[in-house]
Amino acid sequence: MADESTQSIVVAAAPPAIMAVIADFPAYPEWANAVKETEVLETGADGNPSQVRFTLDAGPFKDVYTLSYKWADDGLSVNWNLVKGQMQRAQTGTYQLTPEGDQTRVTYTLSVQLVVPMIGLFRRKAEKMIMDTALKELKRRVEES
């Protein structure tokens, strides 16, 4: 995949609390504004979702897509890849958690390739906007719990 975009935010919580919110896909429509519906299609031996279908409505960008997840044994990261999508040709992403005292730095890395070609500069700008929104919504959800 081409370029990846990366962004971080500090959350006032320990990694297990953050990972619990990340892994609770059925609750995403409650706090992730663009996510309208989720369905866990498969669960791994570790009990974490391994394949999830999303229905996304982010204004001009609407999609139904399925992601495959791999959860780190240490509970500090999760990676995903696109299985199939209507508007996306590829997507890879990672949440990496780094404890910082009684807080945790959450680093989000994302790369998306749409079916319709998009100039790299605009694609990276869209990825950064998606990540900024996702990180702020995640922080709000975790800190309100």
Q: What is the pLDDT of residue 1?
A: 40
Q: What is the pLDDT of residue 62?
A: 85
What is the per-residue pLDDT across 58-91, written as a single tens digit (0 to 9) for each?
A: 777 789 999 999 999 999 999 999 999 998 999 9
Ranges of each domain in the chain? 5-144
Closest CA to 126 of 79, 88, 71, 78: 88
Please determine, for residue 95, whether its predicted confidence score (pLDDT) is greater than 80: yes
Report which of residues 122 and 102 the model is more confident about.
102
- For 116, counting Cβ atoms within 10 Å of its Cβ (0-12 exposed, 13-18 middle, 19+ buried), the class is exposed
Please determine, for residue 122, whether its predicted confidence score (pLDDT) is greater than 70: no
Q: What is the pLDDT of residue 121?
A: 64
Report which of residues 130 and 88 the model is more confident about.
88
CATH superfamily for 5-144 is START domain (3.30.530.20)
Q: Does the reported pTM lie above 0.95?
A: no
Q: What is the 3-state secondary structure (H, E, C) of the chain?
A: CCCCEEEEEEECCCHHHHHHHHHCHHHHHHHCCCEEEEEEEEECCCCCEEEEEEEEEECCEEEEEEEEEEECCCCCEEEEEEEEECCEEEEEEEEEEEEECCEEEEEEEEEEEECCCCCHHHHHHHHHHHHHHHHHHHHHHHHHC
What is the per-residue pLDDT across 2-59, written as a single tens digit (0 to 9) for each?
A: 578 899 999 999 999 999 999 999 999 999 988 999 999 999 999 999 999 999 987 7
Rounded Cα distance, 114 and 64, in Å: 13
Q: What is the pLDDT of residue 43?
A: 97
Rounded Cα distance, 130 and 117, in Å: 18
Q: What is the pLDDT of residue 119?
A: 65
pLDDT band at 130 (very low <50, low <70, confident <90, very high): confident
